[in-house]
Structure 1
Amino acid sequence: MSDPITPAGMAALKARYDHLFATERPQMVEVVSWAAGNGDRSENGDYLYGRKRLREIDRELGHLSRRMKDLQVVDPSRQPDKTRIFFGATIKVVDEDDREQTLTLVGRDEADAGAGRIAWNSPVAIALKGARIGETRTARLPAGERYLEVREINYPG
């Protein structure tokens, strides 16, 4: 099965691809062409940097293209059972030390733990999948077990 991604996550990947392809790459091609016309390429910093950056852009374009083909857009607002935690849910949990956290279960390409977006296949997300409000689940983390009580479950839309 392909990896899930939210519609917003896919839009962000596509925007990055479009920016690289339509803006950054043509600018770098122009710099390399200009620098190549300046004579000796072996000591031409603009030429050498431009070629290196062009390879980086092409590598990222290839990666983004492959990822977008492998991803399946899953719209969390269409989740039929909004009383349980599934992909795309935004939840509030409280741990055993009474620390509250708001988390959103997203695809791994859009995960950002610092912003509260965790990958759907992370240990915390796996422990919470299918839980309802009021349930306590145990997440097995490298630092040890963590008990999380579900306080809220929300889906977009």
Structure 2
Amino acid sequence: MSRAFVKEGTGELEPLPDLPVSPHPNYVTPRGLATLKARLLARQGELAALKARAERLDRLPEAAAERDIRYLEARLRTAILVEPVAQPAAEVQFGTRVVVEMEGVERAFEIVGEDEADADLGRIAPHSPLARALIGAEVGDLVVWRRPAGAVELEVVAIAPLDPGA
């Protein structure tokens, strides 16, 4: 085991540094809030299993689980729930699914909380460059998404509130 986080003489680990918390407001969808709660419960279960091990020489996994639990608890304390169905779907905003045409191809994106964002699933955080370009746009609007590979023009094809059950 690495001695970097071990207190001198006691064999106890120093708490791992906390994970960085975003400076942005912590908006969450109902799905995002449920996911955060499930992640917290899972991590608490993992920590209990780690502490129940007969052989506990390596305490680093426990420290990592404790750090993750602190992070998830902080995210839940600061969560600002936004109900997508309560939002008008006339313009792109947090909690909406937007379909755009980009270079002749239609793509769908969901604007969701940071902890729920996943580019592979088309879920983007509200402060991402793409979301910032889309927020406030209406169906038929052309918006410019400035990205490192060059600016791309997007046409907003459809807007809908996120399905709370999905």
Q: Settle same-fold status: TM greater than 0.5.
A: yes
| 2:62 corresponds to 1:54 | yes
Max Rg structure? 1
Q: Specify the alignment match of 1:82 in structure 2.
A: 89
Confirm or deny that 1:144 pairs with 2:150: yes
SS in 2 for 1:48: coil
8 Å Cα contact 2:110-2:162 kept in structure 1: no
Aligned partner letter, 2:96:
A
Q: Which structure has the highest strand share of the two?
A: 1
Contact 2:116 2:123 (C-alpha < 8 Å) held by counterparts: yes
Structure 2 equivalent of residue 94 of structure 1: 101
Query: CA offset at residue 156 of structure 1?
Result: 3.4
Q: Does 1:70 align with 2:78?
A: yes
After the TM superposition, which residues 6-155 of structure 1 pair with which residues of structure 2 at under 5 Å, given as runs? 6-21=29-44, 23-31=45-53, 34-35=54-55, 47-49=56-58, 51-79=59-87, 81-95=88-102, 97-155=103-161
C-alpha displacement of 1:93: 0.3
What is the CA deviation profile of residues 17-66 of structure 1, one whole-angstrom value per residue up to 9, with x for unaligned ones? 01221x211111110xx22xxxxxxxxxxx333x1111110010011111
Question: How far did residue 3 of structure 1 move?
Answer: 1.9
Instruction: After superposition, give the CA deviation of every residue in 1:78-118 in whole Å (9 maximum; x if it has no partner).
Output: 10x211111111011011x2021010001111100110101
SS at match of 2:139: coil
- Equivalent pairs, count: 140
Counterpart secondary structure, 1:121:
coil
Gaps of 5+ in 2: 1-23
SS at match of 2:146: strand
What is aligned with 1:43?
Answer: none
Give the number of the structure whose residues are more often helix, by fraction: 1
Give the alignment's TM-score, normalised by structure 2.
0.80
Q: Which runs of 5+ in 1 are unaligned?
A: 36-46
Runs (4+) off by over 2 Å: none
